[in-house]
Chains A and B, each alone.
Chain A
């Protein structure tokens, strides 16, 4: 069993035409479930003049209205407290509360039944098995174990696989590193920012080279870093471990994963989720590879607060290649490429923070941390990049390479500020490295709060 490549050898290799049959059946099921149990969903679909019976083919799915995060925030003012009227089960069936991190606004509350929670860990089981986690692994989880979903389901999935799980909850970074060393942990799950931060603390404050520890694989989540080649390379070199990407969200579930073949992208778990990619301008559904768009996603089996055609704002694109691992689940090229919220125009040029990260972390003399600030000088956009020089590295030795690469990869000129190593803020979870002050400036000029 342990040499088996797939968590589910049937589903993960199901021919695509059969996968589509399965997805359509499940989509109809969850749609009917929500329509008959949730006032929110019924009102949404009634307003569009649709009932589940109107969805007769796969092509009809796009007729179903999308759900925006802002809608989920609004329903929380309604009964039953605290979730609102998208709840499809009696309150006493809810066994787990989680909430979104609030990065993009007021947090959204997420109820789950015990079955939903089993489903979360089932989705994670696909991920961990594909990344080579086996019962012989001792998995260290250096996260806060709080109201955010973070790696909770990864914890339970690792237990389900038979791994030994070490919950590194409220320990500080140095204590976590010591515990990894003491227990000879073989695997770890963390955000890319924290993976790099831990390595930095180990080296600079403890004199420990993390590559000499026993960690041989790391699963990342929460940020795009593990899908950004230069960031992935830094993490792999620092820890001497394979670094795998995965993507999930509180309102959605754990919907995609990189497998052991590391195909420069992630498999969508199409047995559990239906992923559509929508053109950012026309709203057309993109089927062909190589065109970026916004992900609209349905969790096909989540029941307490269904996630049906949720507008995730994640930017993704289909890969033209299939993976040599043999899974029939489609690949998204490069993982999650950014968020529609973060992609902004500076001096008329579309810019994604991930593109800047890729450049900064590809320059060897620079530290892992950086910060991007966009503001206005008069009426003209200005983009400032703050970077750290590694000890004994001079500005002159990196300056030209950095400027050239930024110009090449992002088509913009930057005002670059160089800082001593260790000067910029460090983060333990999701980092906030991109600051667009232009809206704030405009609001202040207009006297708005």
Chain B
């Protein structure tokens, strides 16, 4: 049986992580270990955006795996 995914929820979670990392990077500018790791993590988050968020933004997610209408 195929797993059904809530693509909108996944998208929301990715955007939350992104917002947190942006905030962390900015607020830790005098703390290189935190700001540089945040920046690197943001690059990984960008890959998640490419894999899903663009589809959600464009309303292209009425897919068999999606529980969203």
Do the two shown chains form a genuine complex with each other? yes
Q: A interface vs B, CB < 8 Å?
A: 8-11, 13-14, 18, 21-22, 25-26, 113-115, 117-119, 122, 271-272, 301
Closest to A17 in B: B60
Closest to B55 in A: A10
Min C-beta distance of A439 to chain B, whole Å: 44
Inter-subunit contact A22/B58 (CB<8 Å)? yes
Min C-beta distance of A19 to chain B, whole Å: 9
Min C-beta distance of A301 to chain B, whole Å: 6
Across the interface, which residues of A come within 8 angstroms of B23, CB to CB? none
Across the interface, which residues of A come within 8 angstroms of B7, CB to CB? 10
Across the interface, which residues of B come within 8 angstroms of A114, CB to CB? 39-40, 43
Min C-beta distance of A159 to chain B, whole Å: 13
Query: What does DSSP make chain A's interface, helix, strand, loop or mixed?
Result: helix
Which chain B residues numbered 5 to 30 have a C-beta less than 8 Å away from chain A? 5, 7
Closest to A24 in B: B58
Contact of A115 among B46, B51, B60, B63 (CB under 8 A): B46
Inter-subunit contact B65/A118 (CB<8 Å)? no
Across the interface, which residues of A come within 8 angstroms of B39, CB to CB? 114
Known contacts A115-B43, A118-B43, A122-B47: A26-B54 contact under CB 8 Å: yes
Min C-beta distance of A58 to chain B, whole Å: 14
Which chain B residues numbered 45 to 66 have a C-beta less than 8 Å away from chain A? 46-47, 50-52, 54-55, 58, 60-61, 63-66
Min C-beta distance of A307 to chain B, whole Å: 16
Give the complex CA separation of A61 and B66 in angstroms: 31
Min C-beta distance of B10 to chain A, whole Å: 10
Known contacts A10-B55, A114-B39: A18-B47 contact under CB 8 Å: no
Inter-subunit contact B65/A10 (CB<8 Å)? yes
Across the interface, which residues of B come within 8 angstroms of A26, CB to CB? 54
Tell me if B44 counts as interface (CB < 8 A to partner A): yes
Inter-subunit contact A119/B47 (CB<8 Å)? yes
Inter-subunit contact B50/A10 (CB<8 Å)? no
Min C-beta distance of A3 to chain B, whole Å: 11
Given contacts A10-B63, A271-B50, 19 further A-B contacts (CB under 8 A): A8-B51, A9-B65, A10-B5, A10-B52, A10-B65, A10-B66, A13-B63, A14-B55, A14-B63, A22-B54, A22-B55, A113-B43, A114-B40, A114-B43, A115-B46, A119-B50, A122-B47, A122-B51, A272-B50
